[in-house]
Structure 1
Amino acid sequence: MSAGRMHPGTYPIDDDLVRRLVAGQFPQWAGLVVERFPSGGTVNAMYRLGDDMVVRLPLVEGGADDVVTERTWLPRLAPHLPAPIPEVLGAGRPADGYPWPWSVYRWLAGENPEAGALSEPVLLAGDLAGFVAAMRSIALPGAPQAYRGGPIASLDARTRAAIEELRGIPQEAVDCDAAVAAWEESLRVPDWDGPPVWLHADLMPGNLLVAGGRLTSVIDFGCLGVGDPACDLFPAWNLLPADAREVFRETLAVDDATWIRGRGRALSQALIALPYYRRTNPAMARNARHVIRTVLGEG
Structure 2
Amino acid sequence: MDAPHAEFDADEALVRRLVSEQHPDLAGPVRLVANGWDNAVFRLGDDLAVRMPRRAIAVALIENEQRWLPGLAAAVSVPIPVAVRVGAASEAFPLPWSIVPWFAGTSVAELPVAERGALAAELAAFVVELGKPAPAEAPYNPVRAVPLAERDAVVSERLTGLEHGADLAVLWRDAVAAPAWAGPPLWVHGDLHPANLVTAGGRLTAVVDFGDLSAGDPATDLAAAWMVFDADGRREFRRAIGDHADEAAWRRARGWAVSMASSIIATTSGDGPIARIGAHALAQLLPEAQDARSAGAS
Q: TM-score, length-normalised on structure 2?
A: 0.89
1:214-254 Cα deviation digits (max 9, x unpaired): 21111111222321011111220011121221121122132
Distance 1:187 1:117 in 2: 32
Choose from 247, 260, 266 the match for 2:236: 247
CA distance 1:213–1:119, change in 2 (3 Å): farther
Q: 1:86 corresponds to which residue? A: 81
Distance 2:13 2:56 in 1: 21
Q: 1:201 corresponds to which residue? A: 190
Tell me the secondary structure at the aligned position of residue 149 of structure 1: coil
Distance 1:53 1:22 in 2: 12
Choose from 14, 26, 29 the match for 1:17: 14
1:251-283 Cα deviation digits (max 9, x unpaired): 21321111011111111111112121215x811
Q: 2:264 corresponds to which residue? A: 273
Choose from 181, 195, 216 the match for 1:227: 216
Distance 1:227 1:139 in 2: 8
The answer to whether 1:127 aligns with 2:122 is yes
Distance 2:93 2:273 in 1: 27
Q: Is the 8 A contact 1:74 1:86 kept in 2?
A: yes
Q: 2:294 corresponds to which residue? A: none
Q: Is the 8 A contact 2:133 2:185 kept in 1?
A: no
Choose from 232, 253, 260 the match for 1:262: 253
Give the gaps of 5 or more residues in structure 1.
167-173
Q: Is the 8 A contact 1:127 1:215 kept in 2?
A: yes
Distance 1:211 1:131 in 2: 16
Q: Is the 8 A contact 2:2 2:275 kept in 1?
A: no
Q: 1:153 corresponds to which residue? A: 149
Q: 1:296 corresponds to which residue? A: 286
Give the gaps of 5 or more residues in structure 2.
290-298
1:114-142 Cα deviation digits (max 9, x unpaired): 38714643431100110011112466674
Distance 2:277 2:207 in 1: 18
Tell me the secondary structure at the aligned position of residue 130 of structure 1: helix
Write the letter of the residue equivalent to 2:282: I
Coordinate RMSD, CA, aligned: 2.1
Distance 1:64 1:268 in 2: 24
Q: Is the 8 A contact 1:89 1:103 kept in 2?
A: yes
Q: How does 1:38-187 map to 2 (within 5 A)?
A: 38=34, 41-114=36-109, 117-118=112-113, 120-137=115-132, 142-146=137-141, 148-166=144-162, 174-187=163-176
CA distance 1:134–1:45, change in 2 (3 Å): same
Tell me the secondary structure at the aligned position of residue 125 of structure 1: helix
Q: 1:214 corresponds to which residue? A: 203
Tell me the secondary structure at the aligned position of residue 269 of structure 1: helix
Q: 1:170 corresponds to which residue? A: none
Tell me the secondary structure at the aligned position of residue 128 of structure 1: helix
